[in-house]
C-alpha cells in the first residue's frame, strides 16, 4: 500500500497523462514486477546473479612453456564461450589486478626457488602488502622440476599471497614436473568445469527485458581524464617515435571506430623565447575572442605559433613591411629574422593568428576490454625548417605527457567506421598508426567472443624496431582471434615491400573472403597509402573476379553502399 504522499503523486501523474502514456506506464511497471520476480528466483536458486564473462590468464616463463600453456587454455576457454585475455606477467599492468574478477596464473620456478625474470614485477607487486583483492577468484598452475629442492616454490608463493590478499581459489594450485601436459590439462579441466557451471547457472532462466526509453545525448562528449600509461612503442635504433597513451576517465563512453579530439598546448620554453624576443610583458591582458587573456596564456594555450600557413606568413610580411619568401614558418623564426616594429604591433599580430585546432586520434582501445579507459597511438611528426629539425605541435605535446597528468579530450563519433556483425568476417589494412582502429576492433571482438574471422595486414619500416603491438598481435593469433596476419616491413630488404604487395600475394584468398561477405577496412595515411591500397584492391577484384575495370569499380562501390568497404584515413 502506498503512503499518502506517494498516492497523491500517483493520482496527479495519472490525471495529467494521456491514454497512450497510461498504457506505456502499465507495461513498464508490469515489466519491472516480472523482472524482479525472475531475479529473485535466480538469486534463491544460485545465490548469485553474476556469470563468468571473461578471465585473464597471466604467465611467467623463462623457456616459453608457461606461455604455450596459457594460450592453449585461452583457446579452450573460448570454445566454452568464456573470453580469455592472455598476457605475460612482465607486460601485465599491475593496476589492473584490483579490478580482476577471474585470474589464472601459470608460472614457472627459476634457479633456487626464484621467480623468472619475466615474473619478477608481478611477484614483487603482490608481495608488497597494502591492498586487497577481495573480489578476485583465482587459481595457480605451478611449473617446476622435482630435481630441484625448491620444487614449484614460485607458484606456491603466488598462490599463498593471492589468498592472503583476499582472493578465493577457484581450484587448488596444481604443481607440474618437467612432464607437465597431463597434470596441466587436468588442472585446467577442473577450473573450466567450475567456470562453465557457474556461467550456465547464472545465465538461466532468461529475465524478461524492460523497454525503457533512452534519452539520446547530443553533441560531442567532453572529458577530463588522467594519463595512466605512456610508452614509446619503437625500439632503439628506430627512425620513429610512436607513443601508446592511456587515459582513464569517469563515465567514459565511446564505440570502436570513434576518435578522440585533443587540443594541444605550445611548448613552455618556446613561449618564453617568443616573449623575450620582443621584450613583451607576458602578464599583460589582451582582448581575444570576447575574453581577457594574458599574452603568456594566449601563446601557451590559445593560438598556433608553429608551422604557420603560407597565408599567415604573408599576412605577417604585409603587416611588418618585410619581404618574406613564400612558405611556412614558425612565429619565433619570423620574429628573429623579420622583427616587428614594437610590442604593440606584436600584440596585434598575435590576436589575428589561428586558434589551436583539435587534433583527432583514432581510438586504439575497446569499451569492453578497457573499461573506463581510452587509448591512442601517436607518431611524433618531424619536419625541417631552416635546416633545423622541428616537431609537430600535437604529436610533440603528446610525446611529452607524463603519467599522472590531467588531460582534457572529447569523443568524436565515426558512424561510418563500425565493426560488422559479430559473426561476419573482416579484413583490416592498417600500416603504421593505422593499427589503432584495428587494435580496438580486435580487442572488442576478443572480449565479446565474436565468431567472425579476422585478417590483419600491418606494415612498418623494420621488424625489430617498429612492430607495433607485436605481443598483442601474436597473442591474438595464438588464441585464434586473428585468423590470418600478413606483415610488410619495408626496410628489411633491398626492395621496399608495403601492405599492398602483401595483398597481391594473397589475392586469391583475399577475394574469396570478400566474396564470402567479409568487410574491408583501411586505416592510416591517406596519401599515398589508402590510394595504393584501393588501386590494389580494384586490381584483385578485376583479376580474381574476371571483371573489367569498370565492373571492378562497380563491385567496390556496391561494397561501400553495403558498409563493407570503409576508410578512416588522414
> In DSSP terms, which residues pair with 308 in a beta bridge?
329
Q: Which three cell numbers stand for residue 225?
A: 581524464
Q: Which three cell numbers stand for residue 481?
A: 582471434
CA distance linking residue 356 with residue 299, whole number of Å:
10
Angle at 390 between CA 386 and CA 395, to 5 degrees: 155
Return the pLDDT at 464: 96
CA distance linking residue 567 with residue 526, whole number of Å:
9
Percent pLDDT > 90 in the chain is 67
For cell 598476457, the residue is: 87
Return the pLDDT at 36: 44
CA distance linking residue 104 with residue 84, whole number of Å:
10
What's the pLDDT tens digit per position in 476-517? 999 999 999 999 999 999 999 999 999 999 999 999 999 999
On the CB side of 413, CA atoms within 13 Å amount to 10
388 CA to centre of own chain = 34
Angle at 284 between CA 283 and CA 290, to 5 degrees: 115
- As a whole number of Å, the end-to-end CA separation of the chain is 62
Answer for the pair 228, 248: CB distance below 8 angstroms, yes or no. Answer: yes
| Integer-rounded Cα radius of gyration of the chain | 29
Q: What dihedral do alpha carbons 290, 293, 299, 304 form, nearest 10°?
A: -20
SS3 content of the chain, % helix, strand, coil (to 5): 40, 20, 35
Return the pLDDT at 37: 43
Pairing assessment for the beta strands 102-108 and 565-569 based on DSSP bridges? unpaired
- Could you list the mean pLDDT of each consecutive 10-residue stretch along the chain, which spans 570 residues? 58 59 57 43 38 85 84 88 90 90 91 81 87 92 77 92 93 89 90 76 44 43 95 95 97 96 94 95 92 95 91 93 92 95 94 88 97 96 80 91 95 92 97 98 96 97 97 96 98 96 98 98 94 97 97 96 94
From the number of C-beta atoms within 10 Å of its C-beta (0-12, 13-18, 19+), residue 65 rates as middle
Answer for the pair 557, 543: CB distance below 8 angstroms, yes or no. Answer: no
| Helix (H) or strand (E) segment spanning residue 464 | helix 463-466
Return the pLDDT at 61: 83
CA distance linking residue 468 with residue 452, whole number of Å:
24
Amino acid at each position: 500500500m502506498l503512503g499518502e504522499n506517494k498516492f497523491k503523486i500517483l493520482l496527479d501523474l495519472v490525471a495529467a497523462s494521456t491514454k497512450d502514456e497510461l498504457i506505456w506506464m502499465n507495461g513498464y511497471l508490469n515489466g519491472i514486477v516480472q523482472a524482479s520476480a525472475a531475479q529473485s528466483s535466480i538469486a534463491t536458486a544460485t545465490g548469485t546473479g553474476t556469470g563468468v564473462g571473461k578471465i585473464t590468464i597471466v604467465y611467467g616463463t623463462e623457456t616459453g612453456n608457461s606461455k604455450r600453456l596459457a594460450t592453449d587454455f585461452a583457446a579452450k576457454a573460448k570454445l566454452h564461450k568464456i573470453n580469455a585475455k592472455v598476457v605475460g606477467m612482465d607486460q601485465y599492468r599491475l593496476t589492473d589486478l584490483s579490478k580482476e574478477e577471474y585470474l589464472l596464473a601459470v608460472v614457472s620456478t627459476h634457479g633456487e626457488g626464484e621467480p623468472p625474470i619475466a615474473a619478477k614485477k608481478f611477484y614483487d607487486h603482490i608481495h608488497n602488502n597494502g591492498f586487497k583483492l577481495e573480489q578476485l577468484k583465482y587459481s595457480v598452475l605451478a611449473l617446476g622440476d622435482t630435481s630441484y629442492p625448491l620444487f614449484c616454490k614460485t607458484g606456491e608463493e603466488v598462490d599463498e599471497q593471492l589468498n592472503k590478499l583476499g582472493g578465493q581459489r577457484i581450484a587448488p594450485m596444481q604443481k607440474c614436473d618437467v612432464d607437465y601436459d597431463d597434470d596441466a590439462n587436468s588442472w585446467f579441466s577442473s577450473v573450466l568445469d567450475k567456470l562453465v557451471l557457474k556461467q550456465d547457472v547464472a545465465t538461466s532462466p532468461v529475465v524478461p527485458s524492460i523497454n525503457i526509453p533512452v534519452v539520446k545525448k547530443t553533441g560531442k562528449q567532453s572529458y577530463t581524464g588522467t594519463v595512466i600509461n605512456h610508452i614509446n612503442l619503437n625500439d632503439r635504433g628506430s627512425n620513429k617515435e610512436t607513443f601508446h597513451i592511456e587515459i582513464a576517465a569517469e563515465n567514459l563512453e565511446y564505440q570502436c571506430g570513434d576518435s578522440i579530439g585533443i587540443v594541444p598546448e605550445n611548448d613552455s620554453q618556446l613561449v618564453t623565447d617568443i616573449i623575450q624576443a620582443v621584450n613583451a610583458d607576458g602578464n599583460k591582458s589582451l582582448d581575444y575572442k570576447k575574453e581577457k587573456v594574458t599574452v603568456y596564456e594566449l601563446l601557451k594555450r590559445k593560438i598556433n605559433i608553429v608551422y604557420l600557413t603560407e597565408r599567415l606568413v604573408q599576412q605577417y610580411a604585409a603587416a611588418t613591411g618585410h619581404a618574406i619568401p613564400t612558405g611556412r614558418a614558425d612565429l619565433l623564426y619570423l620574429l628573429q629574422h623579420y622583427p616587428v616594429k614594437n610590442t604593440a604591433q606584436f600584440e596585434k599580430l598575435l590576436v589575428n593568428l589561428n586558434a589551436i585546432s583539435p587534433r583527432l586520434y583514432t581510438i586504439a582501445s575497446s569499451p569492453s576490454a578497457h573499461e573506463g579507459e581510452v587509448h591512442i597511438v601517436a607518431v611524433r611528426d618531424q619536419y625541417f625548417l631552416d635546416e633545423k629539425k622541428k616537431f609537430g605541435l600535437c604529436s610533440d605535446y603528446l610525446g611529452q605527457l607524463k603519467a599522472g597528468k590531467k588531460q582534457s579530450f572529447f569523443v568524436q563519433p565515426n558512424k561510418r567506421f563500425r565493426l560488422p556483425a559479430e559473426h561476419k568476417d573482416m579484413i583490416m589494412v592498417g600500416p603504421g598508426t593505422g593499427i589503432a582502429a584495428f587494435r580496438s576492433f580486435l580487442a572488442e571482438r576478443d572480449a565479446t567472443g565474436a565468431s567472425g574471422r579476422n585478417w590483419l595486414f600491418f606494415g612498418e619500416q623494420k621488424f625489430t624496431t617498429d612492430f607495433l603491438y607485436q605481443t598483442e598481435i601474436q597473442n591474438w593469433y595464438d588464441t585464434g582471434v586473428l585468423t590470418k596476419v600478413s606483415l610488410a616491413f619495408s626496410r628489411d630488404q633491398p626492395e621496399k615491400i608495403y601492405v599492398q604487395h602483401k595483398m597481391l600475394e594473397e589475392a586469391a584468398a583475399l577475394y574469396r573472403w570478400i566474396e564470402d561477405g567479409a568487410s574491408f577496412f583501411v586505416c592510416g595515411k591517406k596519401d599515398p597509402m589508402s590510394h595504393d591500397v584501393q588501386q590494389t584492391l580494384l586490381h584483385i577484384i578485376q583479376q580474381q573476379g574476371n571483371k573489367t575495370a569498370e565492373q571492378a569499380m562497380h563491385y567496390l562501390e556496391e561494397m561501400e553502399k553495403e558498409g563493407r568497404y570503409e576508410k578512416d584515413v588522414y
